[in-house]
Amino acid sequence: MATYNGEKYIEEQINSILKQTKQIDELVICDDKSSDSTVQIIDSFNCDLIKLKINLENIGYVRNFEQAISMSSGDIIFLADQDDIWRIDKVSKMVTFMNSEKCDLLCSNFDLINQKDEIIEDKKKYNIPSFVIKEHREIITSISFSRLLLGNVVQGCTYCFTKNVRNKYLAINNQEVYHDWQLMLIAAYNEGVFFYNDNLIQYRLHSNNSIGFDNKKAKIELEIKKPKIVPTMVQFFRDFNKIQKLDLITKIRINIVFYLRIAYFIAKLHLPI
């Protein structure tokens, strides 16, 4: 878990993690130099399972999550946001599937809640990836590498993944691509990503989300940037290729998608993927 000024919701989230039907082995929390009472609330649990690191300076949530992942020692690692609520059987259900199937990363569906813990019934009002809100889905669905090249499809706070994926992610050492998309792509290249269609967390929408779902009524603006000589994602895959060789067809597809900025325009225009 990466925390920053999360005093309003952090206690409820930690309680939901510690009270799982399958007990966790550790809860690694990296705090990004909060200026509120977040750290004091975490300390008040006085729990041996909690491993807290407080940053001396603010490093941002991408590096902070990377730091927390690097400190994790388990065979199966879960990501957690500071302001959500886990369903009590989340760990049990996901670990059971991970242990019984060939799976490198498992993500789940979620409920949306507001600042008062009230369920937001209509997800379609928000810019949630179409993959998540698709109806009549099987309980388990694989997510292909090809689909993920166009953009991530599920929130990182629903993930769990293997130590092998963790080690590859840390070896790539990329600070420009969102950590959850990196983890997805690493696992998906070996056809090891699955979606569990059960609402195992309550994902909170509020004004201080680091990343969230905008209301669809919000104005869409295309941000025009000077393209890099080597697109960010192409560089990521070059680094990925150093630890796991990519086949030629995959390299060609990567160059087409990212030199033509296809994924960029899909994300900016909120097109379904």
Q: Which residues are bridge partners to 28 per DSSP?
A: 51
Structural domain count of the chain: 1
Residue 224 in domain: no
| The pLDDT value given to residue 225 | 53
Q: What is the mean pLDDT of the chain?
A: 89
| The pLDDT value given to residue 88 | 98
- Per DSSP, the residues of 15-27 read HHHHT-SS--S-E
Residue 120 in domain: yes
pLDDT in tens, 159-196: 999 999 999 999 999 989 999 999 999 999 999 999 99
Residue 132 in domain: yes
| The pLDDT value given to residue 221 | 43
Whole-structure pTM value = 0.89
| The pLDDT value given to residue 265 | 73
| The pLDDT value given to residue 188 | 97
| The pLDDT value given to residue 45 | 97
Do 268 and 220 meet the contact criterion of CB atoms below 8 Å apart? yes
Q: Which residue has the tokens 């309003």?
A: 8
Residue 41 in domain: yes
Q: Which residues are bridge partners to 196 per DSSP?
A: 108, 140
pLDDT in tens, 134-161: 765 789 999 999 999 999 999 999 999 9
| The pLDDT value given to residue 248 | 96
Whether the predicted pLDDT of 229 surpasses 50: yes
Residue 210 in domain: no
In terms of Cβ atoms closer than 10 Å to its own Cβ (0-12, 13-18, 19+), residue 176 is exposed
pLDDT in tens, 102-133: 899 999 999 999 999 999 988 778 778 778 87
Write the CB contacts of 264 (distance below 8 Å, at least 6 apart in sequence). Answer: none
Whether the predicted pLDDT of 209 surpasses 90: no
Residue 260 in domain: no
pLDDT in tens, 25-66: 999 999 999 999 999 999 999 999 999 999 999 999 999 999
Angle at 24 between CA 128 and CA 52, to 5 degrees: 85
In terms of Cβ atoms closer than 10 Å to its own Cβ (0-12, 13-18, 19+), residue 237 is buried
Residue 238 in domain: no
- Domain range for 50: 2-204
State the pLDDT confidence band at 219, using cuts at 50, 70 and 90.
very low
State the pLDDT confidence band at 270, using cuts at 50, 70 and 90.
low
CATH number at residue 75: 3.90.550.10
pLDDT in tens, 58-98: 999 999 999 999 999 999 999 999 999 999 999 999 999 99
d(CA 69, CA 55): 15
- Per DSSP, the residues of 195-258 read EEEEEEEEEEP-TT-SS---BTTSPP-PPP-PPPSS-HHHHHHHHHHHHSPPPHHHHHHHHHHH
| The pLDDT value given to residue 127 | 74
Residue 261 in domain: no
Q: Which residue has the tokens 């810019």?
A: 127
